Chains A and B, each alone.
Chain A
Amino acid sequence: DAGVTQSPTHLIKTRGQQVTLRCSPKSGHDTVSWYQQALGQGPQFIFQYYEEEERQRGNFPDRFSGHQFPNYSSELNVNALLLGDSALYLCASRGTSGGWQETQYFGPGTRLLVL
């Protein structure tokens, strides 16, 4: 049973460019959340997708957008990249059959470097 998978593992971009990160949730999970983890910090919640809609959003600008597909996989898009967007981007998935007590499982992350 594959866990949460993310691609690519590493990415280098320049300021002003756009980037798309991908996530496949753990089998049986239908909810995907994205987090940004800057060096030396804890992960910060970006947004959550369920039933192909953004359900919750953290304190991130509109440059950060996402999408969820019918197979529950998800993309995170970041436009007009800034140096400060350099971070590890984590995807987490959870099921909803157990209600709000379901645990989130994290993927290995995508390391984004903006030059």
Chain B
Amino acid sequence: AQSVSQHNHHVILSEAASLELGCNYSYGGTVNLFWYVQYPGQHLQLLLKYFSGDPLVKGIKGFEAEFIKSKFSFNLRKPSVQWSDTAEYFCAVNAGSSNTGKLIFGQGTTLQVKP
């Protein structure tokens, strides 16, 4: 069965620090990959997505992620975090064109940025 694993459950950083959140998935075929963010009191929003092409994808608010097929990974990065980045981050996988719409989520990473 497909699964998504996020390595860090709770991350605490100071403003301006660099961020990398790990995400690994288990599925051998074609995958679509997503990072969603849930700010306090708000609904899930799409940060970025990967379907095909350049494995380095850029999203909103300065976030980027790199798809490394050989490592089944899709890590999220940001060079310099801000206090407003405090939120819950979810990695998700959609297993290719034959399984549209069914997103498999990781358990989430809570990011706390200290001012």
Contacts and interface: CB of A to CB of B under 8 A. Distances in A.
B94 to A, nearest CB: 8
B46 A105 contact: yes
Interface string B73-115: 0000000000000000010100011011111111110000000
Contacts, number: 61
B44 interface: yes
Interface residues of A, number: 29
A101 B90 CA distance: 19
Interface in A55-114: 55-56, 58, 90, 92, 94, 99-109
A24 interface: no
Given A106-B43, A108-B43, A100 B97 contact: yes
A56 B46 contact: no
A56 B97 CA distance: 13
Interface of A: 4, 31, 33, 35, 40-45, 48, 50, 55-56, 58, 90, 92, 94, 99-109
